[in-house]
Amino acid sequence: MSELVFFSGTMDCGKSTLALQIEHNRSTRGLQGMIFTRNDRAGEGRLSSRLGLVTDAVEARDGFDFHSHLVRHLTAGGRTDYVIVDEAQFLTPDQIDQLARIVDDLGMDVFAFGIATDFRTRLFPGSQRLMELADRIEVLQVEALCWCGARATHNARTVGGKMVVEGAQVVVGDVGEPTAEVGYEVLCRRHHRRRLTAAGARAGALSPDVLPVDAPTAPHMR
């Protein structure tokens, strides 16, 4: 039975690396995959991992129809045994429905990789639809770590180095680029709620005016 599988995790948890590993494992067994992505850090039509691996992919723009694309490919004599979709949080709910149709009507496994929640801790619409439709959800256990060493479960957006909790849901940026205007950082929930990034914690350690990281907070601050 073919399956729609949603591999979910924070930024920096190794999703794209796993996507490339699945592609490698299957292609070395003679299977043919169709790879899709959207807004990859390496640019259009590329699926890249932070460890430096990269492969070509089909860019799924606004209005792109996954199901029609596969049907056209098969009708033209192409072969596809399975489908990989990276950055699936950026897809619309309709596009996720198309992925389910590929599984059910075309009999292909679809492996979708994405971040569950945005920088405000809200589900991306595409990720919500994947949770509703997926046969299986795998929460990735290659754990990203907060600067404090705790498991990082939340994505923070920084603008000019400061953590923000308002703004458009999708602004492309990456973790580990502190000089970028818009950046991202993974945090534990505690530090996401306190809006305390690594840079903020460093500044706080130098300034007596800022609440120490491990100081108990008053109830109204929780």
Amino acid at 83: V
The span from the CA of 70 to the CA of 87, in Å, is 19
Q: With both helix axes pointing from N to C terminus, report the angle between 125-133 and 93-106 in degrees, rounded to the nearest 10.
A: 30
Sign for the pseudo-dihedral over CA of 42, 16, 181, 126:
positive
Shortest Cβ 99–Zn ion spacing (Å): 34
Shortest Cβ 188–Zn ion spacing (Å): 3
> Which is catalytic among the residues 44, 59, 87, 166?
87
Shortest Cβ 153–Zn ion spacing (Å): 9
Q: Which stretch binds Zn ion (CB under 5 A): 37-45, 52-60, 119-127, 138-146?
A: 138-146
Residue 87 bears catalytic tag: yes
Q: What is the DSSP track for 31-42?
A: --EEEEESS-TT
Q: Is 97 annotated as a binding residue?
A: no
186 counts as binding Zn ion under rule CB under 5 A: no
Amino acid at 95: Q
Shortest Cβ 94–Zn ion spacing (Å): 36
Q: How many residues sit close enough to Zn ion to count as binding (CB under 5 A)?
A: 5
Secondary structure, 3-state, 94-140:
HHHHHHHHHHHHHCCEEEEEEECECCCCCECHHHHHHHHHCCEEEEC
Q: Is 139 annotated as a binding residue?
A: no
Q: Which stretch binds Zn ion (CB under 5 A): 60-68, 80-88, 163-171, 182-190?
A: 182-190
DSSP secondary-structure letter at 212?
P
Binding residue for Zn ion, selected from 54, 148, 198, 210, defined by CB under 5 A? 148
Binding residue for Zn ion, selected from 188, 192, 194, 197, defined by CB under 5 A? 188
Q: Is 197 annotated as a binding residue?
A: no
User: Tokens for 13?
Assistant: 């948890």
Per the listing, tokens 């008053």 go with 218
Give 113 or 119: the residue with its C-beta nearer to Zn ion: 119
Could you give the residue numbers annotated as active site?
87
Q: Which residues of this chain interact with Zn ion, rule CB under 5 A?
A: 146, 148, 150, 188, 191
Q: Which residues are annotated as a binding site for substrate?
A: 170-173, 184
